[in-house]
Amino acid sequence: MKSSLLNRVFDADAFEAQLQALGALIQNHLENVLSEKKDHVLRWNPPEKELEFWRSFMNSGDTNDFFPEILKRTTHTHHPKYIGHQVGVTAPLTVLTGMLSNLLNNGMAVYEMGMSPNAIERIIIERLGEKFGYGDKVGGFLTSGGTLANLTALLSARKAKVKHDVWNEGHTKPLAIMVCEEAHYCVDRAAKIMGLGEQGIVKVPAKADFTMDIEQMEVLYRETTEKGIQVFAIVGSAPSTATGAYDDLKSIGAFAQKNDIWFHVDGAHGVAAIFSEKYKGLLKGTELSDSIVLDGHKMMLMPTITTALVFKNKMHAEHTFSLNADYLLDQTTEDEWYNSGRRTFECTKTMMCLHWFALLKFYGEALFDEYVTRQYDLAKDFAQLLKNHPQFELGTEPMSNILCFRWIAKGVEDEQLSAINAQIRQQLLEEGEFYLVQTKLYGIQYLRTTLMNPFTELTHLEKLLHKITKLAEHIS
């Protein structure tokens, strides 16, 4: 029996027409946004109004308007005035790899449902392992986001470093992980999900530059173990989220080795700097770590979600979710690298490896070198601009492309300045010409930028400061 609807949905000719129409729309969008013919990064709409729009569209909207409306009603990371969250500005090639992944829908859990992707994923992991100085036992996989990857790495750490069988018996003695207080909140969340409790996450204070205080790390470790709590892992940030500060990975690595603790690097944002000839020095010490997380969808020009979780020793990746208490692979056990689902949290996942492989194959590592170096350089230039301006204050010297600053005025107290800066940010959001975010440092409100867009120039940032000055005059 012929179903006219199903035939229509799967009609290849009709699809080609849709593809051409969307292709033209995307081409036009990219051109207009990159060249700033579109003068707004976003058109702000309050949540209730947006909901109302889409409810009404579902009832009576024209399908021809669906894609154009999506483009109109979203935030445009490709706009050079997009300087907000750490969201990747996608290389257009990845639109094509994403499209193919969606079409083929090979979930990758077992080899035959993802032959090429499983092979490709291994090549990506080995390439990253080489960059990190991990040696020939490297293993790992791509997974759905930095948050999930950090949790997975900590589960592997527990399996590797805790003597008793937590996976089957639950916790029989108190355990903890250590991390700088500046780390991304997902590390805290992972500890809670793992049932470590409040005492199971030891927050090491940060120094004035927002990096982990290494002396305090030693002190807190002693205090924690004296209480009978086993510290099985320490997490270094590369960099932390709010200020973009890189922890001293070398010192943390030496500490972890001395105390037989798992060393995990949360490099979701900035391990990409390993590709930068100029900035790779920030990552000295990765070779001492046991696992590293790197989001392709942050500083690698890839779409959401494309996280790599790399292990120095692939045996640990193999046994995170295994039922066996003994995590060590018998040397004779077959290394089933091609069945990705054994190692990952997900059963089904997208073919995210296509983005990684295509960018490396079509453009090479030079792309990431050029991009990361440019963005980190730009942050340094922006910092200089701010330091030269009497009405702005830098939160801290940027170590990456994340930079915090605030508008200031003589004689105005911090509390009032915080209120003014919060208002500035809200007005910028509602006007939509620029998009930046905010954070609190020492309880004080700062504006926060992540210079993600490869076409943002210093002149854009000069215009931003001019605009903020005008807004502040109006507000204060």
Ligand X SMILES: Cc1ncc(COP(=O)(O)O)c(C=O)c1O
Which residues are at the interface with ligand X (CB under 6 A)? Answer: 86, 145-147, 184, 186, 237, 241, 266, 268-269, 295, 307
- CB-wise, 266 or 346, nearer to ligand X? 266
| Residue 247 or 369 with smaller CB distance to ligand X | 247
Taking the least distance from each CB to ligand X, the nearer of 166 and 273 is: 273
SS (H, E, C) 285-297: CHHHCCEEEEEHH
450 phi and psi, to 5 degrees? -120, 120
Smallest distance, ligand X to C-beta of residue 21, A: 32
140, two tokens: 């790992």
Q: Minimum CB separation from ligand X for residue 7, in Å? A: 39
Shortest Å distance, C-beta 193 to ligand X: 13
Q: Which is nearer to ligand X, 245 or 471 (CB)?
A: 245
Residue 351 CB, shortest distance to ligand X, in Å, is: 18
CB 282, min distance to ligand X, A: 14
CB of 24 to ligand X, least distance (A): 32
Our CB check for ligand X shows the closer of 88 and 117 to be 88
CB atoms within 10 A of CB 323: 8
Q: Which of 419, 453, 393 is nearest to 33 (CA)?
A: 453
Torsion sign across C-alpha atoms 368, 369, 370, 374: positive
DSSP-derived letter for residue 276 is -
Least Å distance between CB 264 and ligand X?
11
- Going by their DSSP bridges, the two strands 444-450 and 402-407 should be labelled as antiparallel
Q: Name the closest residue to ligand X (Cβ).
A: 146
Using the minimum distance from each CB to ligand X, give the nearer residue, 297 or 319.
Answer: 297
Q: What whole-number distance in Å separates Cα of residue 8 and Cα of residue 2?
A: 11
Cα–Cα–Cα angle for 155, 158, 161, rounded to 5 degrees: 145
Based on CB atoms, which residue is closest to ligand X, 292 or 424?
292
CA distances from 126 to 122, 286, 430 (A): 6, 15, 45
CA distance 274 to 286: 10
DSSP letters, 353-414, are: HHHHHHHHHHH-THHHHHHHHHHHHHHHHHHHHHHT-TTEEESS--SSSEEEEEE--TT--H
